[in-house]
Amino acid sequence: MRRFEYIKPTSVQEAVKFLADHPDEAMVMAGGTALVVMIDQGVLRPDYVVDLGGLSDLQGQDSSNETLHLGALTTVRTLERDPQIKERFGVLAEAASQVASVRIRNVATIGGTVSYGEPQTDIPAALIALNATATVVGTEGSRDVAVEDFFLGPYETVLEPGEIVTRVGVPAPSPRTGGCHMKFTIGSPENKPVANASVVLRLDSSGRCEEARIVMGAVGPIPLLATKAAAILKGEVLNETAFAAAAAKAAEESDPVDDLRGPAWYKRRIIRVLVERGLTWALSRAAAQSQ
């Protein structure tokens, strides 16, 4: 492993100032699940590693004002196991439970997962499906960015030099809302998925679809919000025919490439199945909320 200088800031302000002063030489570490591996493999060669672990401003969670606020250092394991998250934000807990292994989930953080910008990761898909927002802090102040607008390309985000994610806000789902996260992986659960999908459905008082959000991962350069597929469902009575049509449209909206996990046509078939099954589960959960 290449030698680097380890920096342990004592505040968010100290961290962002150091990062702004060393935009090309410094990299951020939260859980370190991806960074350490990439440094060890020689993919990344930073002169400085800025460890955000232990910063109190990046820790904790609360649900005031009907929004769940998660500090950037909240671990994926917490997302998976926290009773409140499991009850009120089930699609996020479900996505978290499918991330790699328990060993990784114990260390990986929500802030690091979002900031990394990997197209295959489960958590961003669920956050986009839930209309989540990331708070970004830099030397010029803070700004809120919708997670669906956060990703620009593979491993590329809206973060400017000297900026870090400090927390993620997730609005509480309305009544009669249900969600589901599904993925398909070949081999070990720690392998990157062929495809994943997070879906959220909100029903009106008559049982028709008031809103649908369908997000696909690993089948494009960024997590993809399938707006055309969702439009098929809005205002409709939801059934197998509607779900099949929406899933087919979602597959058309996907943008996979041929790689070691399979050819593009295969990934489109997989995402079609995941979306259709996810919608079926989401409807059953939304209907249960109506009772």
Residues 28 and 137 in one domain: yes
Per-residue pLDDT of the chain (291 residues; tens, 9 = 90+): 678 999 999 999 999 999 999 999 999 999 888 888 888 888 889 999 999 999 999 999 998 778 999 999 999 999 999 999 999 999 999 999 999 999 999 999 999 999 999 999 999 999 999 999 999 999 999 999 999 999 999 999 999 999 999 999 999 999 999 999 999 999 988 899 999 999 999 999 999 999 999 999 999 999 999 999 999 999 999 999 999 999 999 999 999 999 999 999 999 999 999 999 999 999 999 999 876
pLDDT value, residue 43: 83
Read off the DSSP letter of residue 152. E
pLDDT value, residue 211: 99
pLDDT value, residue 161: 95
pLDDT value, residue 123: 98
pLDDT value, residue 5: 96
Residues 114 and 184 in one domain: no
Nearest to 69 by CA among 81, 78, 59: 59
Q: Domain boundary at 115, 150, 172, which?
A: 172
Residues 184 and 161 in one domain: no
- Please give the tally of structural domains in the chain: 2
Q: Domain boundary at 110, 138, 172, which?
A: 172
Residues 157 and 212 in one domain: no
Residues 194 and 277 in one domain: yes
Give 104-131 as a DSSP string.
Answer: HHTT-BHHHHHHH--TT-HHHHHHHHTT
Q: CB within 8 A of 112, min separation 6: which ones?
A: 28, 29, 30, 31, 32, 33, 34, 72
Residues 158 and 16 in one domain: yes
Residues 188 and 153 in one domain: no
Residues 68 and 208 in one domain: no
Whether residue 218 contacts residue 202, with contact meaning beta carbons closer than 8 Å, is answered with no
Burial code (b: 16+ CB inside 10 Å, e: under 16) for 17-29 equals ebbbebeeebbbb
Domain residue limits at 132: 1-54+62-172
Residues 26 and 157 in one domain: yes
3-state secondary structure of 86: helix
Residues 190 and 90 in one domain: no
pLDDT value, residue 244: 99
Residues 41 and 101 in one domain: yes
Rounded CA-CA distance 225/197 in Å is: 10
Rounded CA-CA distance 215/207 in Å is: 22
Q: What is the CATH number of the domain that holds 266?
A: 3.30.390.50
pLDDT value, residue 151: 99
